[in-house]
Amino acid sequence: MSLRINDIAPDFTAETTQGTIHFHDWIGDGWAVLFSHPKNFTPVCTTELGTMAGLEREFTKRNVKIIGMSVDPVDSHDKWKDDIKIATGFNVEYPLIGDKKLEVAKLYDMLPAESGGSSEGRTPADNATVRSVYVIGPDKKIKLILTYPMTTGRNFDEILRAIDSIQLTAKHQVATPANWQQGDDVIITAAVSNEDAIERFGSYETVLSYLRKAKQPS
């Protein structure tokens, strides 16, 4: 079965560049981003992991831990970090999972079931589906799923933007419109009456009978 939003994120035990982790315990009471890449020592992946290293402080400000993974062994991750620093200027200090037996990749539908039992002898093309992102909340439920093709590097600023929206809308009865950025107007959900909207937001704009906008709540 495919994973869906609001499913409990599958728990697992894995070896990482920071030792063995038990995923749910590692997440703790905060948020997490699990993101995978096709293969170490490849160009797009190198830029992605460096970009995430540069943004780690932004994720931390939002109480979000980040963890990367591929089916490469842990020692390969450690060797690759030097190249990432040369290419991007950033040190990878977050953990990287070494999923040699494809266990996590299959658990999270990052690979087809017939991908084989290990990473031995593989090529990047064998793992074309492994460029995925899972945002997981403190309740261990999946809040967002993204999967990109191998040739398209991810926009991690968009993942931060989505987390801002998810955290805001979890706290208030609002939604965020297309291309919303922190500080922009929000949409009042249908569950909030006009009277409640005035009490909550002070004022709001009725664009359509089903579309009401208000200033972003704090």
- Write down the architecture of domain 172-214 according to CATH: 2-Layer Sandwich (3.30)
Buried b (16+ CB within 10 A) or exposed e, 93-112: ebbbbbbbebbbbbbbbbbe
**Catalytic amino acids?**
45
What's this model's pTM, rounded to 2 decimal places? 0.91
Residue pair 128/152 in contact (Cβ under 8 Å)? The answer is no
Q: Which CATH superfamily is domain 13-153 in?
A: Glutaredoxin (3.40.30.10)
Rounded distance between C-alpha atoms, residue 133 and residue 36, angstroms: 7
Same fold, 13-153 and 172-214: no
Which residue in 94, 99, 24 sits closest to 65, CA to CA? 94
pLDDT (tens, 9 = 90+) of the chain, 218 residues, equals 589 999 999 999 999 999 999 999 999 999 999 999 999 999 999 999 999 999 999 999 999 999 999 999 999 999 999 999 999 999 999 999 999 888 999 899 887 555 555 556 555 555 545 689 999 999 999 999 999 888 899 999 999 999 999 999 999 999 999 999 999 999 999 999 999 999 999 999 999 999 999 999 98
**Domain spans of the chain?**
13-153, 172-214
Non-local (6+) Cβ contacts of 114 within 8 A are: none
